[in-house]
Structure 1
Amino acid sequence: MGEHWDVFLAPYRQAVEELKVKLKGMRSRFVMHSEHSAVEFVTGRVKPIASILDKAAKKNIPLSNLSEEMQDIAGLRIMCQFVDDIKIVVEMLQNRNDFEIIEKRDYINKNKESGYRSLHVVIRYPVQTIKGEKQILIEIQIRTLAMNFWATIEHSLNYKYRGQFPEDIQLRLKSAAEAAYRLDEEMSLIREEIQEAQAFFTKKKEVHDSD
């Protein structure tokens, strides 16, 4: 690739740390105004070198083209309580001027055959380095807690079976995906009651903490 991995990945690591702070700030603004937060929590990571090499081999991406062709070397995940929150988060991301959304993939309204559900946006983010500004691609996944639980389990099993799931495991995963979907639907139906209860609990906790 012509660059040492540490040098190559440094801007991605910097971008993940910067964006975690910025995206967590979205949650803080909701809380500050005593509103339900569309953002439950935010995580981020830079893909391990072994995973980068593995994906590059599968996708026939030359190492010299990683920056242009691999969109998820750096990735962030925004977790939401409700499916409707995902749309709010996407709108907030679209209204930001510190990065540009270049692609959106909706695996919620059109989930993958495996049962995977999430909404992905790919952004072009400017990182300030000692050698000047560097534009890098970053993938942000936005999903509910139920979607994330399923995806985390499926990801672990995928490593074990290298994508070749036994038929019984595949059927159970699809059944679990349907159960997660129904859970999201049920929670959406009682969304107002949940939010009122959470607001009451938060106020009660604030009073208790101030005593």
Structure 2
Amino acid sequence: MEQFKRFKDEITRFMMMYKFALDSLETKIEILKEEFQFLHDYNPIEHTKSRMKSPESIFNKIIRKGCDISFPNIRTHIKDIAGLRITCSFVTDIYRIREMLLSQSDLTIVETKDYIREPKPNGYQSLHLIVEVPVYMSDRQERVCVEVQIRTIAMDFWASLEHKIFYKYNESVPPRLLQELKEAADSAAALDKQMERLHDEISQIKEDREEEANAAKRIIIQDESFQIPAALLEWIDNNGQGGQGND
């Protein structure tokens, strides 16, 4: 009984370590979201979703890998015990978020699998990162791995439906449907490109209009630019309205 209690305490503490790493990473992402929204009036992250593997799933996976069951072996050979999925609007946002994570001095990206530049044969696209997160326990500091998947809304939609189809067919999907799934993935990738192009064009139009509005509030004398005082602009606006009302 004492041995069972000791093992239970060990596995509980082991799982808590990954939970703390996931909580820490989610907090960092939330801060980046708010900062980016404040600085750029734009949020590259649509939503996030976290998950933890169950102890049963962890032990089944370590057995499939043919490794001895021990906590050091689990830490070495299983890097996706804790996982975080980040969904973005555009492909450029995916790489922007990766750069944000790289800029965090206490995080280390130890592995990258770019299934966007090199999609899987079935059409799956996503950026996978293994990120080492520092976790401060009561008696030590640990570097804990968290798997981060970053994808667009279209990529996430396709991946979700593909998973449901494979589950329904118990992974024995007819070849015709596999081909259609690949074509659907290609369509999702084309949609991402089109939406990003539209986003860029609209952003450029907005910048051009803001530049025109700012130019209208300046006067140029001998190649020198002067800002028209806000009070004078307000006076002109008020008098203009008054003049129209007297006609």
TM-score range with shorter-chain normalisation?
0.7 to 0.9
Task: Quote the offset at 1:118 in angstroms.
Answer: 0.4
Residues in 2 aligned to 1:58 and 1:159: alpha-carbon distance in whole angstroms = 20
Name the amino acid aligned to 2:112: K
Indicate the percent of aligned positions where both proteins have the same amino acid.
Answer: 36
Give the equivalent residue in structure 1 for 2:18: 12
- Give the unaligned 5+ runs of structure 1: 198-211
Structure 2 residue aligned with 1:120, among 128, 153, 172? 128
Whether 1:60 and 2:70 are equivalent positions in the alignment is: no
Task: Quote the offset at 1:72 in angstroms.
Answer: 0.6
Equivalent positions of 1:57-136 (< 5 A) are 57-64=63-70, 65-136=73-144
Classify 1:146/1:195 alpha carbon distance in 2 versus 1 (closer, same or farther; 3 Å).
farther
Residues in 2 aligned to 1:194 and 1:42: alpha-carbon distance in whole angstroms = 26
Which secondary structure state, in structure 2, belongs to the residue aligned with residue 186 of structure 1? helix
Whether 1:150 and 2:165 are equivalent positions in the alignment is: no
Which secondary structure state, in structure 1, belongs to the residue aligned with residue 189 of structure 2? helix
Structure 2 residue aligned with 1:183, among 176, 191, 210? 191
Which secondary structure state, in structure 2, belongs to the residue aligned with residue 137 of structure 1? strand
Whether 1:137 and 2:154 are equivalent positions in the alignment is: no
Give the equivalent residue in structure 2 for 1:26: 32
Whether 1:40 and 2:43 are equivalent positions in the alignment is: no
Residues in 2 aligned to 1:196 and 1:46: alpha-carbon distance in whole angstroms = 41
Classify 1:15/1:71 alpha carbon distance in 2 versus 1 (closer, same or farther; 3 Å).
same
Task: Quote the offset at 1:196 in angstroms.
Answer: 8.5
Name the amino acid aligned to 1:102: V
Residues in 2 aligned to 1:183 and 1:61: alpha-carbon distance in whole angstroms = 43
For the aligned residue pairs, the C-alpha RMSD in angstroms reads 2.3
Task: Quote the offset at 1:79 in angstroms.
Answer: 1.2
Classify 1:52/1:172 alpha carbon distance in 2 versus 1 (closer, same or farther; 3 Å).
farther
Extract structure 1 runs of 4+ deviating beyond 6 A. none
Q: Which sits farther off after the overlay, 52-61 or 79-88?
A: 52-61
Task: Quote the offset at 1:140 in angstroms.
Answer: 0.7
TM-score, scaled relative to structure 2: 0.72
Q: Which sits farther off after the overlay, 154-163 or 67-76?
A: 154-163
- Give the unaligned 5+ runs of structure 2: 1-5, 206-247
Q: Are the equivalent residues in 2 in contact too, given 1:20–1:43 (CA < 8 A)?
A: no
Residues in 1 aligned to 2:98 and 2:116: alpha-carbon distance in whole angstroms = 13
Classify 1:113/1:54 alpha carbon distance in 2 versus 1 (closer, same or farther; 3 Å).
farther
Figure out how many residues of one structure are paired with residues of the other and give that number.
197
Which secondary structure state, in structure 2, belongs to the residue aligned with residue 97 of structure 1? coil
Task: Quote the offset at 1:149 in angstroms.
Answer: 0.9
Residues in 1 aligned to 2:186 and 2:174: alpha-carbon distance in whole angstroms = 19
TM-score, scaled relative to structure 1: 0.83
Which secondary structure state, in structure 2, belongs to the residue aligned with residue 180 of structure 1? helix
Higher relative contact order (CA 8 A, sep 6+): 1
Larger Rg: 2
Name the amino acid aligned to 2:175: E
Q: Are the equivalent residues in 2 in contact too, given 1:36–1:195 (CA < 8 A)?
A: no
